[in-house]
Structure 1
Amino acid sequence: MVAEDEGALRRSPHPPDLLRLHEAIAGLFATQGDWRRAYQHLRSALDIARDGSLRDALTSSYNRRYLDERLYGPFTDAPPRAIALIDLDRFKGVNDTYGHLVGDRVLRRVADLLQEELPPDAFCARYGGEEFVLWLPGVDAGHAVRIVDAARRRVARHPWSELQPGLRVTISAGLAHEAAGPGTPTSPERQLRRADSLLYAAKRAGRNKVAYRDRQSTRLMTHSE
């Protein structure tokens, strides 16, 4: 009977909350004395609860809590690695002109665009407000620049006017990359601070740009469409 109910719930066009579903099914199996299957569903419920606690409620990207775990917790990724700090350009104007509901839709869509075409083990996290972080382990400097600038172009080319006539959205990014080499690797926290400084360089250069440091100079990827 429980198995039939479980299958019907999965086929429902409006499935209930998966966390509560697994908890309910675990309870049913427990009342039947099937502790193995009850345990399996409880483990699934715990996995869903943990994943939910690490996701941003608005954009479904990872949240600041998950990012802080990677910044300050045990970190085993080997260099080279890169971190990009991304900010929506003039986002306050979007909220002021079109309203916060449209602003929320813009944030969700930008998060989706940032998460497209990321390499394995990379992720996007909402840093706060209209800022996002791209965490890019295991890529060289040139690849990291291409990844971040491709994200910038996806956002700039997106048909925002379909959401609201006249709407245009762009992003600026600061990219901090640590090259492989001798010595103690730079901490991710320090890399994020570098990315923040480079983000301001991109903003000062006119926005809709990716700023990154190449040897001893700061170079800018410029919008050239």
Structure 2
Amino acid sequence: MVDPVRSRERMVREQIEARGVSDRAVLDALRSLPRHLFVEEALASKAYSDGPLPIGEGQTISQPYIVALMSELLRVEPGMKVLEIGTGSGYQAAVLAHMGCDVYTVERIKKLFFAARKRFMDMRMFSVKLKLDDGTMGWPDEGPFDRIIVTAGGHSVPEPLVDQLADPGRLLIPVGEGRRHQSLVLVEKKDGEVIRTDKGGVAFVDLVGKHGW
């Protein structure tokens, strides 16, 4: 495999900074985290390529740019409590943990859950807490959350997640009818008011659960 440090630097410079992401904490996290450890060994050489990669069970690790964009749009600060729906490989949660957040992440697929849990333990990322459950229900026992990020697309924003969002708070979720017609929606809660903003087209795997598909 090529030098991962150089690969990460090239990834950040050519795929992320070149597209306008400028949050220094986000850029530092993507420069620092060994993305190749979050994919299968056979795909490690493609870990820093400009696109998503399969991680098994019909799921994917998101394109580096999308991870960076969503992390920047969340506007997190160190010490914030963040809920992630759809742990997958654990890469997005690791990025947020590197940025100083206390991350609570929910995964519905057992194989991915146990693999991610081992990965976090091996990397000594103790600020990440995992739960095996229906992510569309959130994590009510641990709410409210300053930020919520959903890494799968549903037909609408699950109400339990809006309910568990702190005020003020920000929630990001892909919404749309099928993978080819999704938009990244930013939900902002402030002074009891909920405002939704379309942040552009994206393509994610389906959000499965009681409040998903």
TM-score by length of 1: 0.29
Structure with the larger strand share = 2
Greater radius of gyration (CA): 1
